[in-house]
Amino acid sequence: MPYLGLIVIILGVVCLVDVIVAEEHAVRNLPKVAWVVVVLLMPLIGSALWIVAGRPAGGFAPRRPLAPPSGFPEYDRPGRHVAQRSEEDEEFLRRCRERAEEQRRIAREQRQNDPNA
């Protein structure tokens, strides 16, 4: 049993690193910061709790994104591309089309009225 302390320390460090590199939206049951505190304050119990109740599903294999991350992490959130309210999306697109048509009309008028063109 002389190695029990070493095993607890190694398990705590591995779980702490795992908590830190886990994606915020994938962590279960508690916020990521709370899991860091639990694993730091109670290395053995906290590590076991992290593995059982907090760890994202998928095992210990590192998760790599399919595409390189953008400079805007809020856009990388899963499900963000799905429309939340289709009526608002349709209204937004209608207004974009109207604005584009207005800009095209103004550009045509400017070209017609420009004597240098």
pLDDT for 54:
84
Distance of CA 39 to the CA centre of its chain: 23
pLDDT for position 23: 86
Structure confidence by residue, pLDDT tens digits, 62-117: 555 556 666 666 666 666 666 677 777 888 899 999 999 999 999 999 999 887 75
pLDDT at 83: 64
CA–CA distance, 69 with 75 (Å, rounded to integer): 9
pLDDT, tens only, 8-49:
889 889 989 988 988 888 888 888 899 899 999 988 899 888
- In this predicted structure, what is the pLDDT of residue 28? 85
Q: Which residues of 38-58 are buried (b: 16+ CB within 10 A; e: fewer)?
A: bbeeebeebbebbeeebbeee
Give residue 90's pLDDT: 86
Q: For the residues of 39-85, what is the DSSP string, one character each?
A: HHHSHHHHHHHIIIIISPSS-SSPP--SS---S-GGGGSTTTTS-S-
pTM of the model: 0.50
pLDDT at 110 (0 to 100)? 92
Only one residue has tokens 């595409």, namely 67
What mean pLDDT is reported for the chain?
Answer: 81
**Helix H or strand E segment including 21:** helix 4-21
